Amino acid sequence: MSLRAASHSVVLCACTALIFFACLPNLAWAKTDAIPANFFRLQHAVTLPGADPDWDYLAFDGKHERLFIARRDAGLWVFDTRKQRLVRKIALTKGAGATLLLPEHNRGFSVNEDGSLTAFDLNSLAVLKRAHVADDADAASYDPVSGRIAVVSSDSRKVTFVDPRSLAVIGAVALETARADGSAADGRGAILLNERDRNAVLKIDARTMKVVAEWPITGCSQPTGIAYDPATRRAFIGCRGDHPVLAIFNGDTGATIATLPLGRGNDGVVFDGARRRIFTTNGVDANLVIFRQDDGDHYQMEQAVTTRPQARTMAYDPAGQRVFSVAAEGVLDPAKPANSGPSPSYPNGHYADSFVVLTYAVTR
């Protein structure tokens, strides 16, 4: 072939290729442009230092734009979500498993695994007091009607009611369940508590400190995360069994309204009442699944977004429409005790300095 012929052939092939690619209707960039503006995507990923990256529940303070991260033995860490940087670790919070924020009292509480609460000032973050209120503690809810904190203790099988000012114990309710999990106040004087081993919801009157009902959750196995909508009196419950679903539950009658497919490994459920959205974080399948509430009895999935493995707990900023989650680089060492409940390969250890704070926001 002559040089001129070869050059002509190259030009022809190049032109053909350009025409071919220009005519393709489903290229990746076309799909990206087609994603609706109200879909969430990763906005920030900030790695925090630490030899022990274990963690549990998150909480968000909208007034100060702070994210509280319960890091168990490493204590309660405070993250500035506006500047995307670590603020500090709150003193006397070793064993932090959850955070309860009460803006009306200008107080926050670290719920510690040894059964203590650490009270701190929401403005200054100064520690006010640490007091033991139970034998162990997993999480806590606040009932605005009685003005009491309900501390959930799964190991000792009870819910302890505490005064938020003095941290004095008011009373306790004994539980039959051996796996008490997420809880939520209904705004009418009751606490709804998930019983993971009984596939049921317990309703506790916070004023009388007595169990008033126990209802099975139809189609739900291993209820974990929970959020509540006082307007429709519906509870939204993440069920992490073999067929994970979000259960829509009537908080007055105990009827299961609907179940919608969910990602595996749920731990976080949050409700945005202004936009009628339910957010769920699912650590095994690494996704953020969002549902839309049409009315009290009708729901549908609005979107699902890929996150990172083990991003299972969450907090939400309704003003900025931001979802916060955390994750770390995990490993499964067969020589050490493992938790096969979420999945057969669920990590039992994490690499140091791999803990990351994830911020998801609408793309606008």
For 30, the 3-state DSSP assignment is helix
In a domain, 213, yes or no: no
User: Would you state the pLDDT for residue 187?
Assistant: 96
**Rounded distance between C-alpha atoms, residue 257 and residue 268, angstroms:** 20
Mean pLDDT by 10 residues, the chain (364 residues): 45 44 48 80 95 90 98 96 98 98 97 98 98 97 98 98 98 97 97 98 98 98 97 98 96 97 96 98 97 98 96 97 96 90 86 96 84
Q: Which residue has the tokens 């791999």?
A: 354
Q: Which residues of 150-189 are buried (b: 16+ CB within 10 A; e: fewer)?
A: bbbbbeebbbbbbebeebeebebbebebebbbbbbbbeeb
Query: Of the candidates 183, 191, 276, which has an alpha carbon nearest to the alpha carbon of residue 231?
Result: 276
User: Would you state the pLDDT for residue 5?
Assistant: 46
Which domain covers residue 306, as residue numbers? 37-52+221-364
In a domain, 136, yes or no: no
In a domain, 149, yes or no: no
In a domain, 268, yes or no: yes
In a domain, 298, yes or no: yes
User: Would you state the pLDDT for residue 284?
Assistant: 95
Residues 6+ apart with CB under 8 A from 312: 265, 266, 267, 268, 281, 282, 283, 284, 325
Q: What is the CATH number of the domain that holds 300?
A: 2.130.10.10
User: Would you state the pLDDT for residue 10?
Assistant: 41
Domain count within the chain: 1
Phi, psi of 270 (to 5 degrees): -135, 145
User: Would you state the pLDDT for residue 348?
Assistant: 86
Q: Where are the beta strands (DSSP E) in 175-254?
A: 180-185, 190-195, 200-205, 210-216, 223-229, 234-239, 245-250
Please check whether residue 137 is in contact with residue 172, taking contact to mean a CB–CB distance below 8 angstroms: no
Q: What is the pTM of this model?
A: 0.90
**Rounded distance between C-alpha atoms, residue 291 and residue 279, angstroms:** 7
In a domain, 109, yes or no: no
